[in-house]
Amino acid sequence: MPTIYEQVRRFYSRQMQLIDSGRVEDWVETFVDDAVIANNANPAPARGREVITKVVHRIVADAHERGLVHRHWLDMLTVDPIDEDSLETTFYALVVETAKGGTPGLFRSTRGRDVLVRRGSGWQVRERYVTHDGS
Amino acid sequence: MPTIYEQVRRFYSRQMQLIDSGRVEDWVETFVDDAVIANNANPAPARGREVITKVVHRIVADAHERGLVHRHWLDMLTVDPIDEDSLETTFYALVVETAKGGTPGLFRSTRGRDVLVRRGSGWQVRERYVTHDGS
Amino acid sequence: MPTIYEQVRRFYSRQMQLIDSGRVEDWVETFVDDAVIANNANPAPARGREVITKVVHRIVADAHERGLVHRHWLDMLTVDPIDEDSLETTFYALVVETAKGGTPGLFRSTRGRDVLVRRGSGWQVRERYVTHDGS
């Protein structure tokens, strides 16, 4: 039985790979129905899977049209229990961007804080707050 | 007893450090004798330790002559069992490059898929397929 | 009970977040009183918490004055026991730097070697040697 820390690492690995491969419908299922995503660069948080899906579809489509590959890296992870079925994480996330025929660069550096809740044998994000460095 | 996931992380940490420190002979022992390495930027896969060693010696020597230090970072790791003695991994890998007196940059961003097989108490790579972003 | 490897990963996640958020007094407590930090770019090692604190306060203040956010990433971690209460680690560390309104870049790429010692239920750094790539 993996520790909760390992479960959470694996959860994030999968979540990052889903978004970067454009599988938005699978990716959004890593969030609860009424999840909230907010960041310091945008005053209005995205509430609920429907809104989140719309926003992220646009971001993914935009990168695709411009021939850009994005890779989300997440680490420097801390995991602290809130109660039996929920926990708080903090982490850094980087987005590496590569244009067709180009060399990779850093598109964004952030730190984040999530609340995760149990769902079956796994986890889902209930709240995410991301701070974009430089904003 | 570490989980298989942890074993695999530690395996990759060691493998990346071996290649970056130029220990090609030790590095190639992290592959089975008839291992295959392929990537999307090169139609001909490298088959077997002898060929792989030759290719990688050239890459390492070339970087060394140009005064470049390479650091391979691998993460966003997923590990799925194939059977009792083999497993499939997916991951991202970055190569950070630093020239003498220079500042570091990203040389390459990739995602990869490996098949690992048990060897004694550890693991070896049987197949590796790497997709270079931007190619 | 997490493995020692997992304990060490979590230790470093916390240590990196402390330094990047400017909490120098909390960060320095992740070192033993008479810890030594040395690197290849500087002939004189920093000995003891008092000296280390002074040096790091200056680095943190300097970045802050110039409006720079630093994020330390540490991985490709290996952990080997020395004895029951101490262990040696090797790792890579990157510093990502973002200026106000700017895009992130790599400020520094390094590899490191630490000696960690047990302290209560956790760990502290006794010795750190960092090699800056390109120096």
Tokens standing for residue C8: 């060490």
Interchain CB distance below 8 Å, C94 and B74: no
Is there a contact between A66 and A58 (Cβ–Cβ < 8 Å)?
A: no
Q: Decide if pLDDT at B43 tops 90.
A: no
pTM of structure: 0.97
Query: Residue B18 half-sphere exposure, CB side, CA atoms within 13 Å?
Result: 18
* B-interface mutation test, from A103, A106, A107, A108, most B Cβ less than 10 A away: A103
Spatial separation of the C-alpha atoms in residues B103 and C109, rounded to whole Å: 8
Instruction: Compute the distance between CA of residue B111 and CA of residue B27 in angstroms, rounded to an integer.
Output: 20
Residues of A in contact with B77 (CB under 8 A): 10, 13
Q: Is residue B113 within 8 angstroms of chain A, CB to CB?
A: no
Q: What is the pLDDT of residue B86?
A: 98
Contact A77 C103 (CB under 8 A): no
- The domain that holds C19 is classified in CATH as 3.10.450.50
Give CA–CA dist A55/B93, Å, rounded: 27
Say yes or no for a CB contact (<8 Å) between C73 and A75. Answer: yes
What is the DSSP secondary structure assignment for residue C107, as one 8-state letter?
Answer: E
CB within 8 Å: C94 and B96: yes
Smallest CA–CA distance from C135 into chain B, residue: B101
ipTM of this predicted structure: 0.96
**CA–CA distances in Å: residue C79 to residues A2, B63, B111, C4, C9:** 19, 28, 26, 8, 10
Q: Give me the domain span that covers residue A96.
A: 4-132
Q: Which residues of A touch B133 (CB under 8 A)?
A: 69, 71, 96, 98, 104
Cα–Cα dist C13/A5, whole Å: 12
- Residue-wise pLDDT for A40-87, tens only, equals 988 899 999 999 999 999 999 999 999 999 999 999 999 999 999 999
Q: What's the gap in Å between the CA of B30 and the closest CA on chain A? A: 23
Q: What is the mean pLDDT of chain C?
A: 97
CB proximity list for B45: less than 8 A, separation 6 or greater: B36, B37, B38
Beta strand C122-132 with A86-99 is unpaired
The pLDDT of residue C43 is 80
Contacts with B6 from chain A: Cβ below 8 Å: 6
Total of domains in chain B: 1
Contact criterion met (CB < 8 Å) for A94 and C103: no
Tell me if C76 and B100 make a contact (CB, 8 A cut-off).
no
pLDDT at B132 over 90: yes
Q: What whole-number distance in Å separates Cα of residue A19 and Cα of residue A30?
A: 10
pLDDT tens track for C99-120: 999 999 999 999 999 999 999 9
Length, in residues, of chain A: 135
- The mean pLDDT value for A7-34 works out to 98
Model confidence pLDDT, tens digit, residues C70-101: 999 999 999 999 999 999 999 999 999 999 99
Averaged pLDDT, A99-120: 97
The burial class, CB within 10 Å (0-12 / 13-18 / 19+), for A76 is buried
A/B interface, count of CB pairs below 8 Å: 65
For the record, the structure tokens of A13 come out as 């690995």
Question: Which chains are within 8 Å of A by 3+ CB pairs?
Answer: B, C
